[in-house]
Structure 1
Amino acid sequence: MRTSSRCMFCTLSVFVCLAVVFYSFHIELKHLKMRSQELPIATDTITALDNRTFIISLYYEPRLGQTVRVIAIVHISVKELYCIFHCSSDQNVFVRAQIHLHSDRFGFPYGTADLLCAEPSGCHYTYMSFSSSISINTQQSILFEVKNRPPPPISSNFTVCISTLFGNYNNVLQMIQSIEMYKILGASKVTIYKTNCSQDVDKVLRHYIDKGILEVVPWPIDRHLRTSKKWRYYKGLTAEIGYFGQTAALNDCLYRNMYKSKFVLLNDIDEIILPVKDWDWSSLMENLQNKHPDTSVFRFESHVFPIPVNNSGFDLWPHVPGVNILTYRLRLPNKRNNFNAPKMIVNPRDVFQTSVHFARTRKTKTNIREDTAILFHCKMRNKYTIKDLVPHDRLMRYNLSLVPNVDKVIQELYPQQ
């Protein structure tokens, strides 16, 4: 009987001890969870970790195994950075990031970078944070949500990525005409990165957002770094990053739409990838894919249309600020051996990194001949005269659709008195 009582007492003691341990552990987990929930979640497009590292966005990267790819802007001196995975078990796991600074920073001290973070085994997470040291107090961190996890289904055929609007951009008419042309050619979505623009352009942006065709991503790069309108650094320039961080915006747009869109177009708002043999992008890409089945990056040579031609038949919107692309019907001939600034249509799921004119892919890159399609680049350049140019009227094929579509938008936004 005494032995039985002793056993019962020991069992009860062990149970009490385990209960105390479990309760203490539960309280500690609760405190950890509360501390994790108290951490701020990043809501800005560009978030400064310090004055050398700026986080743009985080994307799940299944093509490299269980990895997270972080689009960032970093100073060339950054050599060490840690990804902190905030596991659902309330454990924080530090993983040293592989830092891949893009080669095309064009001499500026800051450039686009990919931070590759391998997922820790057994960690179920939604958020990550970052540290320059493995010993930092994570209570000071900012949380970032990992996107594309799991990858969403494709919902668009063509998405156009535009970067970046700056300098109080005010080319209202050309913006409307370009977006309407993108729609005619087959765009389901247009994504624009905006640093700043005029009130008139902002009205246009709001119109297309309401119509569901446009996504505007705030791009306040000038709040963080001294920016340049030049793409290349030269001695004496005080800017820290070129062309308002254009390549970082393009890479974010690529990954933002990687699993949403079958194809992504990377060009500026004053450019249109214009089929010559085909009517729209769907027929163009079907033919190109049949001809080049192993290609995932199609590059279209830029053709500059530098001066307008007087044509009263298309002078329909004199009260709207901006360039009327329908009056630009003369092309500057390209020189055979020159670099003619191509832009791209890509299969984003095969592309790992993009610049303005080139993309890194695991498949083939193909340059498309001008008799198949061109990059229509409507940009005023006064140094040319008509005798320097040749006629090119492919855009006129679309005027019966383009003119009423543009007119409808302008009537809504700029009703004449």
Structure 2
Amino acid sequence: MRRMNLVIVMAVFTLCNCLVSLLICYHYPEFIPRVRMLLALTSRDHENTSEDIIASVQKGAINSVIQSSAGKHSKQEAFLLNRNIPTPTTRRNERLPQMLQQTHNSSGQLFLNKSRFDAVLGEGGLENRFPPRRPYQSEFQQVDVRIFIYSAIYEKTHSSVRTLILVPEPFNPVSFVCVLKRTRSHVGYWVQGHFRHISLSRWGTYNNRCGFVHCPVPHGSYPEFISVLTARMSSPLNILPVNYPGPPYNRLTRCYHAMHGNFTDVNTLVTALETNRYFGTDKFLIYNYSIPEDVNKVLLHYEREGIVEMRNWKLPFPPDQIHYWGQMASIHDCVFSQLGVAKYVLLADVDEIVVPKKDISLADLADRLLNTKKPNSKNMYGALMFPNADFPIHENETKIEFPEKEDAKKFKMHAFLHTDRSYINNPRDKAKILVKPEVVDLLHVHNMKKFLPGWAMYVVSPEVALMHHYRTSKKTQTYHPLRQDSTFIKFSNSLIPKIKDRLLHLQSKLEVNI
């Protein structure tokens, strides 16, 4: 009897061994490369050089996007992982497992040697010609639990793709993996991404902040698409077109932060657009979180004329969970998207106008002041800082008379009607900046957080140009004593007829209220 029990135990043990062996053999093409890749990422994550390139061509069927067991994630995380919102983005994400199926020529090997990796990419894997510039494409897509990607921008000088992501705060950086792809259905080449935080806001604490994942690309290879995932994942949830620069065709691009439902003033918007065009702005980039109907009609009209470009900025969480509708993220996306596209980029709000005292064109002013050497330094000037003064529009209208004053009143052109201003604010507190995009490392709202080596800030004298901030706030004590500044009125003869004609045209064509 004892002998029979021993035989039965041995038979069961042998059968289990056979089943385990069959499972490993069946999943070997997918299992081994993934283990190798994760081991390599873990062992090399502390290094930060171009030799960190890790490429893998996955072989075999791709499993579900995130493997999570009960108790491993919170209820909130489980909801995020399993939510099923019927949007174009989620519908495409649902197709990703099928889109990323293996190709028969996949080797399944892991390449840690850079020269071997370059050789593999050169064998028709990715494009080897610099792609032409196409319309900018971006949208929020999920990377992992509470991590979202927005855009992918190719940077020629670094031979890399810079991806903008939103992460929770606090956030302990994890290992990121980038998948460089020739087409949407291409299985792609896997490289290690390097994460970097963007500076925190100085105005409160929030549940989310922004950062970059830099994805190295071998010289001479140009991916059309990219996906980003964390090392714990088996396949990506996202896929974004890589945006490539083209020949610069704008001298000056102006970035506006995310517009939302609180902004409904068509007259102020048109005054801002026409005034800034007069002062040399070629293009306006506007991030659309939630724009009211009339304002949206006006912006779409300008977009059809090629003057405005609107970008979808539907945040993947409530806006109060990140500083000012993700302002730090949108300004970085705007500036880096102008690499090789615009000579200069100006960061300012709709109610702010840089008023030059001498040069009419801000691009001409930048040409004159930038690319000159900073005294007693090896650095060159790469950005202009414009000091700021507040012009409260709730104060009494100006007593200065000018021919177009009645039209300014009729069409609510506040900038021409209020000439009392506050003292000039500390330049490093409330100023706004104009930058050469190729000199930027990190930005802040009112200053440059960090230049690339060899560049410095030029602080513009108020006698040369001043940023007028037309404030609606009624906190009188913050503005007094007020001073008279009628500089802007000298442009009334040229600007007011342009703004008036544009408003009347929009009213008749779009039936908007002015």
TM range (shorter): 0.7 to 0.9
SS in 1 for 2:326: helix
The match for 1:203 among 297, 302, 312 is 297
Query: By how many angstroms is 1:35 displaced?
Result: 8.1
Matched residue, 2:228: 130
- CA separation of 1:372 and 1:46: change in aligned 2, threshold 3 A: same
The match for 2:387 among 276, 288, 301 is 301
Establish whether residue 82 from structure 1 lines up as the match of residue 173 from structure 2: no
Matched residue, 1:400: 493
- CA separation of 1:197 and 1:315: change in aligned 2, threshold 3 A: farther
Establish whether residue 327 from structure 1 lines up as the match of residue 414 from structure 2: no
Query: By how many angstroms is 1:290 displaced?
Result: 6.6
For the Cα contact (< 8 Å) 1:85–1:92, is it kept in 2?
yes
Establish whether residue 255 from structure 1 lines up as the match of residue 348 from structure 2: no
| Letter aligned with residue 242 of structure 1 | H
Name stretches of at least 5 consecutive residues in structure 1 with no aligned partner.
1-27, 229-239
Matched residue, 2:482: 389
Matched residue, 1:92: 188
The match for 2:397 among 310, 325, 329 is 310
- CA separation of 1:35 and 1:414: change in aligned 2, threshold 3 A: closer
Q: What TM-score, normalized by structure 2, do the two folds share? A: 0.65
Distance 1:146 1:273 in 2: 33
The match for 2:257 among 163, 167, 178 is 163
Q: Which has the higher contact order (CA 8 A, sep 6+)?
A: 1
- CA separation of 1:334 and 1:258: change in aligned 2, threshold 3 A: same
Residues 85-105 of structure 1 deviation map (CA, whole Å, 9 limit, x = unaligned): 225795533222211111224
- CA separation of 1:37 and 1:281: change in aligned 2, threshold 3 A: farther
Residues 88-139 of structure 1 deviation map (CA, whole Å, 9 limit, x = unaligned): 7955332222111112244323112011111257865311112112650x3x
Q: Which has the higher strand share?
A: 1
SS in 1 for 2:231: coil
| Letter aligned with residue 127 of structure 1 | F
The match for 2:502 among 402, 409, 415 is 409
Distance 2:299 2:147 in 1: 30
SS in 1 for 2:370: helix
Matched residue, 1:111: 209
Distance 1:327 1:51 in 2: 51
The share of aligned pairs that are identical, in percent, is: 23
SS in 1 for 2:339: coil
Query: By how many angstroms is 1:197 displaced?
Result: 2.2
For the Cα contact (< 8 Å) 2:371–2:382, is it kept in 1?
no
The match for 1:345 among 434, 438, 442 is 434
Establish whether residue 57 from structure 1 lines up as the match of residue 147 from structure 2: no
Distance 2:432 2:422 in 1: 17
SS in 2 for 1:95: strand
Establish whether residue 67 from structure 1 lines up as the match of residue 160 from structure 2: yes
Distance 1:157 1:123 in 2: 29
Matched residue, 1:11: none
SS in 1 for 2:157: coil
Distance 1:172 1:82 in 2: 44
Matched residue, 2:243: 147
Q: Pick which of 281-290 and 270-279 moved more.
A: 281-290
Q: What TM-score, normalized by structure 1, do the two folds share? A: 0.79
- CA separation of 1:184 and 1:131: change in aligned 2, threshold 3 A: same
Query: By how many angstroms is 1:397 displaced?
Result: 1.9
Name stretches of at least 5 consecutive residues in structure 2 with no aligned partner.
1-57, 63-94, 102-135, 375-379
For the Cα contact (< 8 Å) 2:144–2:230, is it kept in 1?
no
Distance 2:503 2:466 in 1: 28
Distance 1:263 1:143 in 2: 30
| Letter aligned with residue 491 of structure 2 | Y
Distance 2:222 2:507 in 1: 52
Q: How does 1:5-20 map to 2 (within 5 A)?
A: none
Distance 1:184 1:51 in 2: 46
